[in-house]
Amino acid sequence: MTVERRYSNRHPVDFEVIIRYRDRPFRVAHARDLSPKGMYVQTTNLTLPTGTMVEIEFDRWNWEWRIPGIVLHEDARGVGLMFRTALPELYQYETAAAARPTLPMKSLEAAQLPA
């Protein structure tokens, strides 16, 4: 049994991010989960030791995000990042977007007004 290190809820996500190291784009990766205080980023062929300062850059909800953070842990699939400052608004936008109901395509077609 492992000890849980998280102090806030995680929300599964799937979007591209750019990892910046020393102010230059370093690698395109995929965010896999998000909390108000950090995110897990799946990477390939990338080693970032614990304690490395990075920035995560991505476009989401018509906003450009550039978030400073630190690598808390790394494994064979990616890195766990802690944001320098908690971002509850980022987490709230993501969870609210995921909670919105989506209509099946047939319902959308039926809802269209006749020409």
Find the mean pLDDT for residues 24-51.
88
Is the pLDDT at 109 greater than 70? The verdict is: no
pTM: 0.76
From residue 96, give the alpha-carbon distance in Å to each of 67, 70, 77, 83, 91.
Answer: 20, 26, 27, 20, 8
pLDDT mean across residues, the chain: 81
Find the mean pLDDT for residues 55-78.
91
Question: For 11-111, which CATH class?
Answer: mainly beta
Is the pLDDT at 59 greater than 50? The verdict is: yes
Task: Name the residue ranges covered by the structural domains of the chain.
Answer: 11-111
